[in-house]
Amino acid sequence: MNKKPKKKKNRKILQNWQLYIFILPAFLYFFIFHYIPMYGIQIAFKDFVPSLGIWGSEWVGFEHFTRFFESYYFWDLLKNTLGISVYELIVGFPLPIILALALNEVKDGLYKRTVQTVTYAPHFISVVVMAGMIIAFLSPATGIVNHFLVLLGFDPIPFMSDPDWFKTVYVFSGVWQSTGWGTIIYLAALSGVDPQHHEAAIVDGATRLQRIWHINIPTLVPTMVILLIMNVGNLLAMGFEKILLLQNPLNLESSNVIATFVYQAGLLDAQYSFAAAVGLFNAIINAILLITVNQIAKKRSETSLW
Amino acid sequence: MNSAINETGVDKFMKIFIYIFLTFALLIVLYPLIYIISASVSDPAAVNSGEMWLLPKGFTLEGYKMILENDEIWRGYLNTIFYTALGTLINLAVTIPAAYALSRKDLTGRNFFMGMFVLTMFFSGGLIPTYLVVKSLGLIDTIWAMVLPNAAAVWNIVIARVFFQVTVPKELEEAAIIDGCSNFKMFMKIILPLSAPIIAVMALFYGVGHWNSYFNALIYISDKDLFPLQLVLREILVLQEMSSQSTNLTGNMAEALHSKQQLAAIIKYGVMIVSTLPVIIVYPFLQRYFVKGVMIGSLKG
């Protein structure tokens, strides 16, 4: 390619100029709404004054970062952010795999389709409605969950105002909403298993469980690794919209995460530079996690994002 | 294929276990959905006191009547329909041509464009710098703030590109070029007629996204006349519940809040259904397209 004379390359570009028109809107979109904001990150190192603009504002170096690291809420924010994400990863990651493996064993088409259709459905519920459902179902006085608890002889639990419950509520509502949808990609991978493997295994006297363990699960490993890398890379950014909706002054001590803090400080309190610095800190940690996990995966399983 | 072979006891047990597990999953997901439907047509008192478990008690359409009479919900609904239609149109106009161009091996610089797009999946300016760009473009409190900042999604461009790579035969393109067909003409006359499935998938992905999105509106829109449905819902379903816990409200605000709470208590389950209705109606018909879209995307990252 590189050795091709320049003239020929230029002619090819000219010949296909219309293709560049096709790509132009997308190019402009990513340039304006993604790359200009990247340029804007520098306000994290400046004292941004809107009237002076990004360029004209004064450099202050790492002042905003230092202020964030030294603040009394820093460790709480980090603890909540990581706590919620890791909790979600541990509970939420294996479930779609288990459900997909189970669905794959069912030969009855109608039953399989019913389970799939129903478990996919919550994926399409908006995050606002989801938050509304959580709040309505978990209400101490009127929610159905607490009516059940009382029926079983327990005391009602004020889920939304008790900080100890926030993470569990967040994680399990997410499991309810997205486990079914998460099976799709694993089911697609499982449909690629050669039936001859199973036939041979059956002839050799393998039980169903052994076949799942020795044939199906190894098939899923590359998909699992890719999804795991992606999830870990997003560890600090997960589910921010739902957290924002479920947050209230009473559960703040366990629900305040970096992303909601950026929203609060930046958009509500208009501390643009400080919030941008906190956001950048978050993004850098994400990038480091992504790269690290990708490297580990590459070494261990030869599957990686790049 | 394995029915001819006798199943051992272990296998039978495993099979039963799998069926129990799946039925459990089914019921866990289904119960809240049925509960919401029942609660929306039940006597609110029966719902709140816990007398209604599964099927409606004290049937009433009062909640729906109030929803229909509520101007805010109507306006939100209309706004959302508008944002969804306009937004999806823009999404398609950006995604489909770009994906097609990227699927062409003879596009010089395709790796550069692809790299530029994909990089944004892993690194972004973040909330505040993005907000400042939208603000400096003068989009705050305009309909454009609802559609332009999400004009395309990288993942969807990738899915559409793979679709074009897989479905459009290279020979067809080459033959058309030899016959002197321009790229514009090829796109309009050959590619678009072949793209109905991918356009459907993309329209659905983007459409549902616009229908359900609230965060853009939350940060960019403060004019109530421009509120999409999800922001109206947020006020009804989420805010009233939370502010009831704060005590330092002025008399006027507290009164307005009180009437809103009364309203919310009656209509909360109804609005969940009304707002999700379009997606629910479309969903059964288009489920396979959704699934197909995800699968196309998973073929190749």
Q: What is the pLDDT of residues A255-277, one digit of tens each?
A: 999 999 999 999 999 899 999 99
CB distance A180 to A121 below 8 Å: yes
Find out whether A170 and A243 touch, Cβ atoms under 8 Å: yes
Decide if A248 and B242 are in contact by the 8 Å CB cutoff.
yes
Residues in B closer than 8 angstroms to A46, CB to CB, are: none
| Least CB–CB distance from B234: residue in A128, A176, A195 | A128
Residue A191 pLDDT greater than 50, yes or no = yes
Query: B246 and B134, same structural domain?
Result: yes
Residue B300 lies inside a defined structural domain of this protein:
no
Same domain, B156 and B259: yes
**Residues B43 and B103 occupy one common structural domain:** no
User: Do B37 and B83 fall within a single domain?
Assistant: no
**B115 interfacial to chain A (CB closer than 8 Å):** no
Residue in A33, A141, A202 closest to B149 by CB: A33
Q: Categorize the per-residue pLDDT at A1 as very low, low, confident or very high, splitting at 50, 70 and 90.
A: very low
Q: Which domain-ending residue is among B60, B92, B109?
A: B60
Question: B56 and B151, same structural domain?
Answer: no
∠ CA B186-B191-B193, nearest 5°, is: 120
CA of A72 to nearest chain B CA: how many angstroms apart? 22
- Res. A47 pLDDT band, cuts 50 70 90: confident
Contact call for B132 and A37, based on CB within 8 A:
yes
Whether residues B110 and B187 fall in one domain: yes
B128 domain-assigned? yes
Residue B296 has pLDDT above 70, yes or no: no
Q: Nearest-CA distance from B28 to chain A in Å?
A: 8
pLDDT of residue B250: 58
Q: Is residue B110 part of a domain?
A: yes
Interface probe, candidates A34, A228, A251, chain B, greatest B C-beta count within 10 A: A34
Same domain, B119 and B218: yes
CATH number at residue B121: 1.10.3720.10
- Decide if A12 and B19 are in contact by the 8 Å CB cutoff: no
Which tens digit of pLDDT belongs to each residue from A79-111?
999 899 999 999 999 999 999 999 998 887 899
Q: Cα(A147)–Cα(A150) distance, rounded to whole angstroms?
A: 5
Work out the pLDDT band at A2, boundaries 50, 70, 90. Answer: low
Report which of A285, A286, A305 is spatially closest to residue A295, judged by C-alpha positions.
Answer: A305
Any residues with CB less than 8 A from the CB of B204 and at least 6 apart, and which? B282, B286, B289, B290, B293
Does residue B14 share a domain with residue B78?
A: no
Do residues B44 and B110 share a domain? no
Give the gap in angstroms from C-alpha B134 to the nearest C-alpha of chain A. Answer: 8
Residues B14 and B143 in one domain: no
Q: What would the mean pLDDT of B253-259 be, rounded to a whole number?
A: 65
State the pLDDT at residue B190: 86
Q: Which residue of A has its CA nearest to B33?
A: A122
Min distance A130 CA to chain B CA atoms (Å):
9
Q: With beta carbons under 8 A apart, name residues in chain B contacting A199.
A: 1-2
Segment B58-82, tens digit of pLDDT: 888 888 988 888 888 999 999 999 9
Indicate the residue among B20, B35, B60 that finishes a domain: B60
Residue B24 and residue B146 in one domain: no
Domain contains B65? no
Q: Alpha carbon of B216 to those of A238, A240, A251, A272, B88: distances in Å?
A: 17, 13, 25, 18, 15
In-domain check, residue B88: yes
pLDDT of residue B241: 57
A295 pLDDT higher than 90: no
Residues B245 and B285 in one domain: yes
Confidence of residue B198 (pLDDT cuts 50, 70, 90): confident
Q: Does B37 reside within a domain?
A: yes
* Residues of B (133-172) whose Cβ lies below 8 Å from A: 133-134, 137, 148-149, 151-152, 157
Number of domains in chain B: 2
Percent of chain B at pLDDT > 90 equals 43
The minimum CA-CA distance between B151 and chain A, rounded to whole Å, is 7
Domain for residue B301, yes or no? no
pTM over 0.90, yes/no: no
* Residue that the structure tokens 């379009």 belong to: B278
Across the interface, whether the CB atoms of A132 and B26 are under 8 A apart is answered no
Greater pLDDT, A7 or A62 = A62
Contact of A145 with A137, CB cutoff 8 Å: yes
pLDDT at B121: 83
**Is pLDDT at B6 greater than 60 in this prediction?**
no
Q: What value does the mean pLDDT take over residues B126-134?
A: 92
Per the structure, the complete domain to which residue B114 belongs is given by: 72-295
Does B66 fall in a domain? no
Q: Rounded to the nearest 5 degrees, what angle is found at the Cα of A82, between the Cα atoms of A81 and A88?
A: 95
